């Protein structure tokens, strides 16, 4: 009886393909923000060497600049989330007045 259960387990394991072992690499998108107070700032969306997008927006510490910055960030985040990406990590540099966001899409099994 033990041999029968052992044989069934072996056949069951061989018949199923583990999803973690098969599939493609996850897609990664890097978003870099370069902010300048009172001047045009940019969000750079780097998908690959051939696919780079730039969004310019007016930044600043006044109401118009804060709203413009929030709208630019929301536009990018909603676009990437709509494509199935999730924010993996974020870093900020006060020295360069920049932030880097890493978005990842899980691989398809």
51 against 97, higher pLDDT: 51
19 against 25, higher pLDDT: 25
Beta strands (DSSP E) in 7-109 are 27-34, 40-48, 51-58, 86-93, 98-105
CA gyration radius, the chain: 22
Q: For a pLDDT cut of 90, what percent of the chain falls above it?
A: 50
Quote the CA–CA distance of 69 and 79 in Å, as a whole number.
16
- CA 64, chain centre distance (Å): 28
pTM confidence score: 0.70
pLDDT tens for 25-72 read 679 999 999 988 767 899 999 998 899 999 999 888 888 888 998 999
């Amino acid at each position: 009886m033990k041999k029968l259960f052992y044989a069934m387990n072996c056949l069951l394991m061989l018949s199923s393909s583990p999803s973690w072992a098969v599939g493609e690499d996850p897609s990664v998108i890097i978003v870099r923000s370069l902010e300048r107070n009172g001047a045009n700032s940019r969000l750079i969306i780097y998908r690959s060497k051939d696919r780079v997008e730039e969004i310019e927006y007016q930044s600043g510490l006044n109401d118009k600049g804060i709203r413009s910055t929030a709208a630019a960030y929301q536009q990018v985040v909603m676009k990437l989330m709509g494509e199935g990406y999730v924010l993996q990590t974020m870093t900020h540099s006060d020295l360069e007045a920049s932030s880097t966001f890493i978005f990842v899409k899980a691989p398809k099994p």
